[in-house]
Structure 1
Amino acid sequence: MKSLVLAALVAATMAAPSAVVAEIALGRLFQRDQAAQSEAPKRGLRKFFLFGRKPRKLEPMSYSEAWLDSQPAATGNADFECLAQALYFEARGETVKGQFAVAEVIMNRVKSAQFPNSVCAVVKQGTGRLHQCQFSYTCDGHAETISEHQAHVRVSKVARAVLDGISEELTDGATYYHTTAVRPRWSRTFKKTAQIGVHLFYSDERYRTASND
């Protein structure tokens, strides 16, 4: 049986040698092409498949609405949500730099031995006691309703950037702030560290953030 198959193959080769040679050549070419593709750098393949599509280029960090708008939509865990909500109710009318400064105070409190050690615990400290909480929007008796969508999107991006450590230090370790419209009692004894927009920032020298890192 084997001899019959071999004889048929020889006969076919003699009848059409050019066709067989061409088939062998094509087979070898296909093998080389497969090997080349398997060895190609991944970046080159990505570039090939993304041909014609421009990659999104993020703007360099700056305290501007234009920079915020260039950032991807912000998401995160519970601490992210708490920080974004605090920025919305406490500082959405402030400049972008002012929003970063308020977020920095919250993060400084998380680092300080004087306050709870998570963003949500810091933001909600004292909640439930009318006008006795740390952040007034959590105990002013009003429903916490987010009605300004664009403002919430932007402060969420601020929260994400602060949690990711993108921004620089703005308040010199401040753990307190108030607007220029009021002058709380504690502002007379704490150290003023900065003024950004309509907010004044203070540190309690007994609990400097740097000593608790």
Structure 2
Amino acid sequence: MKRYIVAVALTAATVLPNLSYAERQDVEVTKEELVARNELPGQSFRDYLTLFKPRKAPVQQMSFTKDWLDQQPKASGDENFRCLAEALYFEARGESVRGQFAVAEVILNRVDSTRFPDSLCGVIKQGTGKKYQCQFTYTCDGYKEVIHEKRAYERVAKVARAALDGKAKEMTSGATHYHTKAVRPSWSRVYKETARIGVHIFYRHNYRTASN
């Protein structure tokens, strides 16, 4: 059902007499509401529409830039949000914003796949405890995870929040793996390359279904 915002003070005063002028400028009404209140006497609804305009919701354009990130509110969330933000910090804080979103996408794709755990923390910590046998090296390299660069963490946390909120379009065509251009793991010769973004190359299995 379309809703309309009062655009003319005179009409607003006639239709919504109990509201102040300021309130009338931001009040939504429908034909049914006006008819129910008997506030369309002698004129068709089309006549009234000439004095109304459609309400347009504010649209915030997604942008893969640090400036865009800096304009976003401080990010927060639950344990899974914190796991994703931490992973982006240790895995991709030196990458471009676009590259950080791509890494976040891979992690989210893994959660959606039956081949991996079904939570962000589960995916990120898979194999942790076995040195260099984990999925994300920073969780099993023998070093304690300490966040020294607060500014960088705040930015990747915003990337994590935006990715979880579905603000970014798909960039990696369903990738569930990636590596830097400096290495070439054995699995890269088996999986299908789907994208190259920043210093990372992205891959997925050679076949895709709704669950993998």
Matches within 5 A, 1:41-60: 43=26, 60=61
CA distance in 1, matches of 2:59, 2:88: 23
Q: Matched residues in 2 for 1:36 and 1:199: separation?
A: 57
Range that drifts further, 86-95 or 197-206: 197-206
Q: How far apart are residue 60 of structure 1 and its match?
A: 2.1
Decide whether the 8 Å contact of 1:130 with 1:141 is kept in 2.
yes
| CA drift at 1:205 | 2.1
Aligned-partner Cα distance in 2 for 1:122–1:36 = 53
1-side partners of 2:134 and 2:165: how far apart? 27
The RMSD of aligned alpha carbons is 2.1
1:178 and 2:172 are equivalent in the alignment: no
In the alignment, what sits opposite 2:96?
A: 95
CA distance in 1, matches of 2:176, 2:89: 18
Could you report, residue by residue, the CA deviation over 1:59-117 in whole angstroms, capped at 9, with x for unpaired residues? 52110001000101000011100000000000000000000000000000000010000
Deviation at 1:128, TM superposition (A): 0.5
2:35 maps to none
Equivalent residue letter for 1:211: A
Paired residue for 2:143? Answer: 142
State the number of aligned residues. 164
* 1:164 counterpart letter in structure 2: D
Runs (4+) of structure 1 moved beyond 4 Å? 40-44
Query: Are 1:190 and 1:205, in contact at CA under 8 Å, matched by a contact in 2?
Result: yes
CA drift of 1:42 comes to 9.6
| Percent pairwise identity | 58
Which residue does 2:164 correspond to in 1?
163
Which whole-Å CA distance do the structure 2 matches of 1:212 and 1:203 have between them?
Answer: 13
Return the structure number with greater helix share: 1
Amino acid at match of 2:102: A
TM-score by length of 2: 0.73
1:202 corresponds to which residue?
203
Q: Structure 2 stretches of 5 or more lacking a match?
A: 1-17, 28-57
TM-score, with length taken from structure 1: 0.72
Name the CA distance, whole Å, in 2 between partners of 1:42 and 1:72: 28
Pairwise CA distance, 1:43:
4.5
Q: Which runs of 5+ in 1 are unaligned?
A: 1-34, 45-56
Q: Secondary structure at the match of 1:177?
A: strand
Determine the C-alpha separation between the residues in 2 that align with 1:100 and 1:36: 46
Shift of 1:193: 0.4
- Matched ranges for 1:68-87 at <5 A: 68-87=69-88
CA distance in 1, matches of 2:70, 2:91: 20
The match for 1:131 is 132
The structure with the largest alpha-carbon Rg is 1
Q: Is the 8 A contact 1:58 1:71 kept in 2?
A: no
